[in-house]
Chains A and B, each alone.
Chain A
């Protein structure tokens, strides 16, 4: 029986991660995929899961048919998962928004909360129930004296098996499921797996000596299996998928829907025009692109250069930009796109415009991270176009930093030009827009000796170069070049070029950014993410920006103060309780969950910065982290089986976490310059894996220890498992919601690690005081 249960728990972990990632991806298609929305969705998941583990989980001790209810919870979980996918596609119909309207942070919060509610609540409860069942099935063999030892052991075992499931689930989902199946089918496959496990858990109906009731349940469970198989292999699952997708894209003629590792691509057709949506946002319109943007973005830099030959485009080239560049006499265009699916889908739904772009022998499409490509490029480019429109995520921010601009500079020919665009206006720059623009301008100016701003009604363009030519070139000269190159353009008439380059626009621009920020955007201090999110949020709930602005004030000093205050309050409230050690232990687990989430975030982020966005490696890093959690859990669970007390081990572990958090950023900060050596590149990747593993071990090791200590104080297994598991998740919740939006962008990687150090010192201090107070 115990072995059956172990399987069930592994499947539970497996199902949890799949549900979490699939729902995140589905929700991001309807919400905007910026750092804030990802943070909000993940945070809701963790919050609800922790509530489930604690509140629903507690009920297990009083329940009569524990296994029966465990099975019921599992079945409900899988059904709600399918329903949640459906709901995340159609919920917009039931909100008072009009089709095509984007959503702000408030609806994002409550919609994802409601959709995730049944799924993650149930999944959280399953953990606690699993612990209790594991304990019950193991206890028959052991004597009563070692009950609390066994409790602690059970919880840690379940923790390990669940983590194993999570790890396997993550790998299988990314490499086997997402590339081949749509979300609804994935959910049905998952349901099948869970139904099989449920049927396997109870006595089969053909065995003698079981009650009628149990026999019926068994028949029901066994009949679910072929039914689900039928749904998967018949067209029913596909029908459900198409029905929901059609409703999600109603009023549109949907011609393509596909997922890649990187996200979702949808193509709609309307009156002969194709619009390509990436995660719900339109990115390409063909054959009639936004000519104003395309012509200005391409020809202003191209005409500023005397003879542009070698061109590089970082993302966004297809659907107009390449076509315009080809009107000049160029010899080669290198075009990178991180998501390989996008160029493929554009090719599939081709129009004369894109066909011309893709078939031209001078165009070389690289399906690779642009920064990664640029770093390895041996060539010097005459013009580098950056097609990223804003630094709204940690991923895209890498194309707006001082370090990246230095790289771009080093890959430019002596009079080469780097160009990027940002949202702008010629009538009024709000302070949010001014900050975003000023920050990028400051960053460019810190690298390039010459930066030319061309303000615009929708886009401000920034041309940067090592050569003074970009500043010296006059509108007359540009018009001459246009005539000489025989450019056939629609909008960029000689009059328009003169108008566009009038000095008064610059006066307007510089007047408006006068009072804006002096800050510079760095790889390891990605302020751009913050300014971008504030600007985005300005559209939907401007008053929330006051909170952001307060948040922007954080520094090490103020966070130190917060922790001192927290310490005092926690001490004052908890020291009165009989068992001060109990809250102290959950605080330790909470802060470790916080640290674990941030370690994960920092490692993934730093890896992207140093090596580029390589999906395969990011998957490896997460897997290494989960494997670490498992190893740590196993290591300590065998330790607590023997040891009488876990307190000294907890103290040691806390100290190790503190030291680790302190050392982590030093490695990245010093690694960058060394990366020029080839041997170091490979070594550093291995180091990343090891660090990921170690941070996993640290997180995983603490959980069994804390359980052991806690159970000494209170023998209630389900209460303990629920409380500590939810503390762990809540810590992750806090880390997730403020990590990507506030801590990393405002404080940077180094100071964020110091915040972890401070938090861990606080929890350690409280724990030691609690120990002393007998």
Chain B
């Protein structure tokens, strides 16, 4: 059909083309956003698809990674943690913060902590290291685990460009700790292995300046980097999240064996060690499992390593579970004592009697604690005041 009305035709054409163009533009735009979100979210939700992470670099503060191998075609193999990611050009590893740029691996969080916080050392938890002193804690974005009950998920389950940060060189961190009257620097909150190079430089400098150094880890480091960092560390707190493989696989996206290996190495290198076990109802609270764990610790690490059983309360994605019954924690502690462990604690239950340290020999209450407060300390030169029994730990700064 031929349109005889020219003006009408042009008018219609005009309206249609404007509408069409705008609609097309909007559709394209929204779809682009929608699909990129969808892809990002599906990999985010499972946490397993770790080859696709790419992030904008806001600050050009990249530091070359200390542990990686160059493979062919510009790809690299990161040898820092047990994931041993093979990372293609332009991508990051499972941890989101190690990026392959032109065949070299860089840390994206060196000198860029999400915050520096001062708190008491008991907060770590680290009970056998100069009780009650102020400790400066360093943390950044991201983690190499994906624990569904992560308490600090705002940080640990986010990439470096999703978390705001401060800029502090290792020297500045150490200076701040000294100026604020801290006796130690800890690397925790998120997994410090992901900011290994930063931690390495801070710890090295801090020890020179006479500060105590420690880190709180999930124990998923490879032996070589672990041994290297232990040279500059006075203490380590390791999360032994459970004593079964499926917990590690399903809840944390890791595995148990490397963590046990880490514990053995720390013992061998003779660095002060404390172990934390968060007891979660139905998931890792089986008494037999706890018994096995305690036996393993005694056989491989020894009976003087402090062991903390912490109370779980619903967080992050694990929202539909009850808090750990205090009875469960007490029976776990009793199992540990019966197995022969000397220092067993219950955490997150304020003023529970097992917040405190008792002399394994004469049972005197030596360090009385309520939650993170130290109420009294009856110890002299690292030994029990009444019977002189020497307590394992670092008691002098």
Binding site for B on A (CB under 8 A): 32, 98-102, 104, 106, 251-252, 268, 270-273, 275, 277, 280-282, 285, 288, 290-292, 295, 425-431, 433, 490-491, 493, 495-496, 499, 504, 508, 538-544, 546-547, 550, 565, 568-569, 571-572
Contact = CB atoms under 8 A, between A and B. Distances in A.
Contacts of A32: 319
A524 B65 CA distance: 54
A542 B44 contact: yes
Majority DSSP secondary structure for residues of B touching A: mixed
A490 B370 contact: yes
Nearest to B118: A504
Closest 5 CB pairs of A and B: A491-B350, A490-B351, A275-B322, A100-B321, A273-B325
A538 B150 CA distance: 14
B320 A281 contact: yes
B373 A495 contact: yes
B362 interface: no
Interface residues of B, number: 65
A547 B317 contact: no
Given A490-B370, A540-B317, A546-B33, A569 B23 contact: yes
Interface string B351-386: 100000000000000000011110100000000000
Nearest to B348: A292
Contacts of B372: 496
13 contacts: A98-B250, A100-B283, A106-B42, A281-B314, A282-B321, A430-B154, A542-B44, A542-B158, A543-B40, A544-B41, A546-B37, A547-B37, A571-B19
Interface in B138-163: 139, 148, 152-155, 158, 162-163
B20 A425 contact: no
Contact of A542 (B115, B162, B189): B162
B154 A275 contact: no
Contacts of B322: 252, 268, 270, 273, 275, 282, 285
Interface of B: 15-16, 18-20, 22-23, 26, 33-34, 37-38, 40-42, 44-45, 114-115, 117-120, 137, 139, 148, 152-155, 158, 162-164, 189, 250-251, 280-283, 313-314, 316-323, 325-328, 331, 348-351, 370-373, 375
A659 B58 CA distance: 52
Majority DSSP secondary structure for residues of A touching B: mixed
Nearest to A562: B26
A508 B164 CA distance: 13
A100 B16 contact: no
B16 A572 contact: yes
Contact of A569 (B19, B154, B251): B19
A251 B317 CA distance: 18
B163 A428 contact: yes
A544 B37 contact: yes
B318 A102 contact: yes
A251 B282 contact: yes
B323 A290 contact: yes
Contact of B320 (A280, A550, A568, A571): A280
A199 to B, nearest CB: 43
B320 to A, nearest CB: 5
Contact of A572 (B15, B42, B119): B15
Contacts of A251: 282
A540 B153 CA distance: 11
Nearest to A498: B373
Contacts of B118: 504
Contacts of B42: 106
B326 A288 contact: yes
B371 A292 contact: yes
A122 to B, nearest CB: 30
A167 B163 CA distance: 51
Contacts of A508: 117
A762 B382 CA distance: 81
A540 B148 CA distance: 10
A572 B13 CA distance: 10
A102 B37 contact: no
A428 B320 contact: no
Query: Residue among B152, B189, B326, B375 with the most chain A CB within 10 A?
Result: B326
B19 A568 contact: yes
B154 to A, nearest CB: 4
Contacts of A99: 282-283, 320-321
Nearest to A287: B326
Contacts of B33: 546-547, 550
A543 B375 CA distance: 46
B155 A428 contact: yes
Contact of B282 (A100, A430, A547): A100
Query: Residue among B18, B34, B350, B351 with the most chain A CB within 10 A?
Result: B350
Given A270-B281, A547-B37, 7 more contacts: A99-B283, A102-B317, A271-B328, A271-B331, A288-B323, A496-B370, A496-B371
